[in-house]
Structures are given as structure tokens and as C-alpha cells.
Amino acid sequence: MFKKLRNTCIVSAVALATILPGQASATAIGKDGIQIKNNVSIMINGETISVNDPILNKSDFLLLPMRALYEAIGANVEWNKDTLTASATRNGKLVDLTIDSMNALVDGEEVAMDVAPFMYKDRTYMPLRFVSENFDGTVNWDPDTQSVDITLSDETPEQPQENPYILHINNHRIVMKDPIVMKQSRSYIPANYIYEYLDDSTGMWLPDNSFELQIAGMSFVFKDNSNQVLVNNEVVTLEEVPFVQKGKMYVPITFVVNALGGNLRYISEKREMYLYVYHYMYTSSFLEKSFGSTAYPEAVPSARLEGDRDLFISDNPETLTRKLVPKSNATLAQYDVNAAAATNKHRIFGWHYNTLGTDVKLGITVQNKSTTESIKVTESKGINQKTGNSWVGHDIGLTIADAVLNNKLQRSTSKGTVIEPGETKVIETYDLEYDYIIGFLHDLDIQAANGGKPEYTIRTVLTKDNSDLRTIQSEQVAVDEYAKHPRGAWPSATILAELPAYTVDSPEVGYNISNGRTDHLQTAENSFSQINGAVGNPGHFGMNYKVSIPVVNSSGTSKTIKMKLAGRGGLYSGAIKVNGKVYLVPSLRVGTEYVELPEYTIDGSSGTIELELMHAGGVNLPVAIYVGTK
């Protein structure tokens, strides 16, 4: 996925054993109080280690060369040449030692030392007992044999997980081992989290101790405590100042994201950062937002359902509460399929917010109700997005809409699965952390394996205790009467609206999509699934909405048609395909903001503009399309 470049040495750290008075075979004490010990032997976990450089004694404490010491115990160390600090880790524990300093940092806490690390003949020497004991080792000195016996545990201690920092990079959730640092209201994170979780990215220390971060062909070179940054070899002066902490380069993340094109949000009370780089997150580019009012639109004069893929929605209860989901396991939505074709095509759209106080697992299952006919999953693909952010339209809705209109749904391993009579199988599973929202869309094709009539039930199910999802076959939970989000199944996942012909040079005209009149085709009453209640889908969540606009040109010359898109029912965002190319619509405020769509040139006497929309779930509807002549 990515290439990691590190300029660190892999070494090990162990603590020094105190040398008692009367130790023999030492050279004379120098003016700096340092003795060379010629015949000291050191054993670590039963094995004698070999040290090529001299072993030193200072103030009755043994010191070893840094590399030899740390390699012997299997610790990793990062060396900061500017601060002369060695940051060593072993079994999750961090010890920072600085040359000539009598104070160390052990897991961030300051600890006094009896002897400081020092430089001797261009070698860095570390106190053996202090290092060993602070990596939870036991040190024994035998004065008779002039030997040190060190025992180190290889067990990694459990690390406290209270309030870890969480980083989301393009909806990939990472539990950080390092803190997010705030300085003067600006946020910084270690650069390694960026290049380790973004494709086509690298990070490396340069010989002058600067750090180069390369992302998608763009180069950033940061220096410790310098606001002069090289961006593609051009000097840029920042208000922020990158810095090195515990051997890692902390970079000003807002600057990086803005330079790449993206978005950032840090929720300090939750210790969660959301980082989006559009180059990686979306296939399509955003339309530029314009400011101004738009005229009141007309209703779409006619619309109809199109296509043979039905739509099954699991969006109620949207907010999963203990009252609505009191048991450990639950069916959230259920669709008993009345198969009419050899291959039956389904779209499952889900949207749920976990307030149950614990992490849960969700899943899509299919139960074969036939006693004689096997069924086969001939196609299975989808997308899911999660967020703890309040920007659900951006985090979840836009990514789903972008993937659907670009035909970028990911193939599921359940494709090809055969479900025997009476058997239930899991089609897809999703982990949903507490206080997170998930949106998912899954296209599923099923046919009878032997040409008969298939009978099966599709469910979205939930478990709090990691139960087998296949065993969850209860009736779907009650509808949340106080928050009536959609639930049900309808015969098509696509609506087609054919607008009246527009004549060039005539006044601009607008049409309201999702007007609740002619295109309100998915009601509670006509849902296929009525078990324990259904709620209509007037917002067309999970649906493709196609618009056909005939254009008449009697001018005899080439004309340019301009189009706009504006929200009508509140904040709006989504994706739109214009004559085959997909664009993203940023959040639009009603009455003050709109986007201009790519222009359409008509050379002949007639033509047709083809549009296709998918609304970003979690935002208000409807939206209006305006057509005029440039």
C-alpha cells in the first residue's frame, strides 16, 4: 500500500549494573572520573554478550556503548542529533536519555539518574543499571566473578487504553500511540501517521536532520523548530512551527491538508481528528460554490420508477438506543423477498448511529426459506463509511454517492456463495464503535441455483455480545416514532424524471427534485416490507435519480446551455453525473449558495441533457435544477 522510509537505527536498551568498591582489573581513573573495565562479563537472559568497544565505569556505575547495549536487549532507538537524545522503546515502554543530563524521561515522566550518559571517543555511553531496570529488568552484580547478570521480561505489558487519541484518515480509524499536540490553537501530528496510511506516500529523515514528507507527488521538507518549509523545493513561511518530539517530526496538519486539498476537523473533547485528502477519498472533484439567490422552482411534472433493482432500507431506528434495542441481539430491518425473476437484484441501504454504550457488530444476512431450492449469490458489492464526526453528509453520504455514480462499489467475498435450503449466511459485516455513525450501501443479486422459485429473507442484524449473526432471526425492532427515518422495501432503486423541453434563449426555468408530489414514489403504504412498521423514503436515500432534459434550438446557430443546482429544503450536498461525468456538490445553504454545472453546447436543432443524482444521506432535501441559455 505504501513505502515506509525511516532513518532510524534498530538497537536495544538495557540498564547498567552498579559496580561495587573493590572491583579489579580497571585502568587508572582519568581526570574525568572514567575507568576502563577490562574483565567485566555481562549476561542477559542467560547469554553472554560481546562488546567491542570499552566498557566504562564512572562513579561506580557501568556504562556501555549505546548501540551494543540496546541491540543486546532488543529495543528500538531513535537518535536526535540536535538534542543529543536517545528515545528507546521496548515492550511498549519509552525511555528518553540525553547526553550529560541527570534527568531521564520514562514514559513521559521525569526520573533522576545517578550517572548521566556521556560521549567517550565519539561513542555514546549509556548507564547499564538505569536502562535495564527502567525496562523492567532485574540486575545482579557478582563482585567475585566481576560479572553482571540481567534478566529481562519478553512480555509486553498491557497498555492503558483510557482516552487514546483517534485519527481518521479518509475514514480509516487509527488508535494513535502518540498524542495530538495543540500549540497556540494549532494542531500537530507525527508525520508517520500520514505516510503510513496514505497510498503513494513516503517519509524520511534527510542528512541535515530535516524530514521530507512526500504525498502523491508533492514534497514537504520540515525542520525542527523552523517555520521555513520547502514545498516542492519552494520556500514557504508558515505561522505554524513543526517540531521533533520523542524522535518524531510533528507537522502542522492543517497546512498539509490545505496544501493537498482536503478538510480537517479536530474534536478535542473526544481526542478525535478527522483528516480528509480528496485526492484519495473521492474519485470525482468538487464543483465550485457560487453565492446568490435562485428563483422558486416548479415541481417535477412527472417521474417514474425505473429498473429491476429493488431498494431495501434499514434507517429506522437511525439512533440505536437501549430503549429501542434492549436485548443483546436484534433484527433492525427485514425483507421477505417475493421472487419474480430468475435473478433478483437488491440494494440494501443502511444508516445507524450507535448510542448503546458499547461497540457492536452489524451484518447483512440472507435466510433461504425454501425447503427444496438452493440459492446462489451471483453478485455482491458495496461500500460502507463510518464517522464519529457530525459531518455525516461529507464523511459518509458523499463518499457513498461518489462511489455509486462512478461504479466503484467494492466486490464482497460473499459473491458466489450458495445458500442451501433452510440455511442462513452472512453477506457482509460491519464493526460499529460506540458513538459512531455508519452508512452502507450494498448491491446484491440472488438467483435460484437449480432454476426454481427462490424464497428468502434479507435482514440487517446487530449483536452487542459478538453472537453469530446467522442466528439472529427475530422480528425487526419497533419503528422510532419520534424520528421517522425510512424503513421498508420498494420495487426500484432508480427514479427517472423527464422534464419539459427547454427552448434556447427562453427564460431560465427550475425544477424541484424530491418535491414530495409526483416523485414521491416510496411511501410506507406501498412498501413490500410491513413487519413491525414501515416508513416512507421521500428523501430518496440510497436511490439514483435520473433527469432527462430535452433541448430545442431553432436559432440555427450553436448555443450554450448553462445549468445550476441549489438546495431547497435545507443544507444540501450530493453527487451529480452530467452527460457521463461525475461531480461532487459541496454543502449548499438554501437561498444563498448554488453550484454551476458544466455547460452544454447544442449545435443542431435538438439535443438532450442527461443528469443523474444521488443525495448525500443525512442532509435535508430537496434540490432544484435550473436550466438557461448563456
Query: Among 327, 348, 337, 530, which residue's Cα sits nearest to residue 427?
Result: 348
In the predicted model, is pLDDT for residue 16 greater than 60? no
pLDDT-based confidence at residue 19 (cuts at 50, 70, 90): very low
Q: What is the tens place of the pLDDT at every residue in 200-235?
A: 889 999 888 899 998 877 889 999 999 999 988 889
Query: What is residue 27's predicted lDDT score, i.e. its pLDDT?
Result: 54
Percent of the chain surpassing pLDDT 70: 93
| Average pLDDT score over residue span 440-447 | 96
| Average pLDDT score over residue span 166-185 | 89
Residues with Cβ < 8 Å from 300, sequence gap 6 or more? 497, 499, 511, 512, 513, 515, 517, 518, 519
In the predicted model, is pLDDT for residue 22 greater than 60? no
pLDDT-based confidence at residue 3 (cuts at 50, 70, 90): very low
pLDDT-based confidence at residue 91 (cuts at 50, 70, 90): confident
Position with higher pLDDT, 626 vs 27: 626
In the predicted model, is pLDDT for residue 161 greater than 80? no
| Average pLDDT score over residue span 560-582 | 92
How far is residue 607 from each of residues 125, 129, 509, 554, measured CA to CA in Å? Answer: 81, 84, 17, 11
Please tell me which of 30-34, 128-132, 388-392 the model is most confident about, judged by mean pLDDT.
128-132
In the predicted model, is pLDDT for residue 157 greater than 60? no
In the predicted model, is pLDDT for residue 14 greater than 50? no
Query: What is residue 259's predicted lDDT score, i.e. its pLDDT?
Result: 83
How far is residue 43 from each of residues 14, 16, 25, 77, 83, measured CA to CA in Å? Answer: 11, 12, 19, 21, 31
| Average pLDDT score over residue span 272-283 | 86
Q: From start to end of 246-359, where are the E strands?
A: 248-252, 262-267, 272-277, 285-286, 289-291, 298-299, 303-306, 309-314, 319-320, 329-338, 343-354
CA angle 492, 495, 496 (to 5 degrees): 135
Query: What is residue 619's predicted lDDT score, i.e. its pLDDT?
Result: 57
| Average pLDDT score over residue span 247-254 | 92
pLDDT-based confidence at residue 29 (cuts at 50, 70, 90): low
CA dihedral 137, 142, 146, 147 (to 10 degrees): -30
Residues with Cβ < 8 Å from 15, sequence gap 6 or more? 127, 128, 129, 130, 131, 132, 133, 134, 135, 137, 139, 150
Query: What is residue 618's predicted lDDT score, i.e. its pLDDT?
Result: 59
Quick one: DSSP state of residue 396?
A: I
Query: What is residue 224's predicted lDDT score, i.e. its pLDDT?
Result: 92
Q: What is the tens place of the pLDDT at every residue in 113-155?
A: 999 999 988 889 999 999 988 888 888 888 888 888 988 876 6
Query: What is residue 280's predicted lDDT score, i.e. its pLDDT?
Result: 80
In the predicted model, is pLDDT for residue 5 greater than 70? no
pTM over 0.95: no
- The gap from C-alpha 97 to its chain's centroid, in whole angstroms, comes to 35
Least confident of 9-13, 29-33, 149-153, 166-170: 9-13
